[in-house]
Every structure is written in C-alpha cells, then in structure tokens.
Amino acid sequence: MLSRDEICSVVESYVKHLGNHDVDQLVALFADDAVQHEPLGVRSYRGIEEIRGFDTENAKVDFTVSRYSPIVVTGRYASMQLRIQREGMPDFLASDLFEFDDDGRIVSLSVVLDPQARV
C-alpha cells in the first residue's frame, strides 16, 4: 500500500505539471487504463491516449493553478482544491479527487469545476 507521503508527492507533481502545461510529465502520472472525469458529470476520458488528447488541448489555454487546500488522503484516495487563474476571469476553485494504483499511478481523477466558486 502506498504511503501518505508517496500519494502527496504524486498530487504535488500533478499540480506542478498541470501548471507548467507539461503534457508528457502530466500524462506519465496516469496508469494506462486510467479514467479522467473533467468536469465530473460532463465528460470522461478513458485510457492514456484520450487523457493525453484532453491535456494537450487544455495546455493551449492560458491559465495557472496553485493548490488552495491541504491534500487529504484516505487509503488509496486523495483530494485537494486548486485555485485557477485566467486572464479576464475572477479566480475560481476546482476540487480534484484522485484514486491510485499500487504503483502510485493515477487510475481515476474526478474534477469538479465551479467558476462561480470564486476565491
């Protein structure tokens, strides 16, 4: 079983690579058969190639992110909130829920985006 520190390290890497728009490093955090729900309830990306496609398009958008809350860990799950900043928009929050496999790779990511949850 993964330690809390191992899980937090992956989540911190996720935030770093998302903010740097480094698609290759970001996608490397996911298991081959991972699923990403973003935004949750609207669209799901299944498998590494669909996730790569989404992240490639997302990297074209000019935004920055920073962790807004502590990382909360229970077993193989972790959650946190991100502060999202885009030119011409008020800063807003997203809540991310991660599930990890035994190798420390993300197998599921659910992102709740709410541009009205302003910081």
Q: Is the pLDDT of residue 110 over 90?
A: yes
pLDDT for 64 equals 96
Q: What value does the mean pLDDT of the chain take?
A: 97
Residue 81 pLDDT:
97
| pLDDT-derived band at 1, boundaries 50, 70, 90 | confident
Q: What is the pLDDT of residues 39-83, one digit of tens each?
A: 999 999 999 999 999 999 999 999 999 999 999 999 999 999 999
| Cα–Cα distance for residue pair 11/76, rounded to 1 Å | 12
Question: Does domain 4-118 bear CATH number 3.30.930.10?
Answer: no
Where do the domains of the chain lie? 4-118
pLDDT reported for residue 104: 98
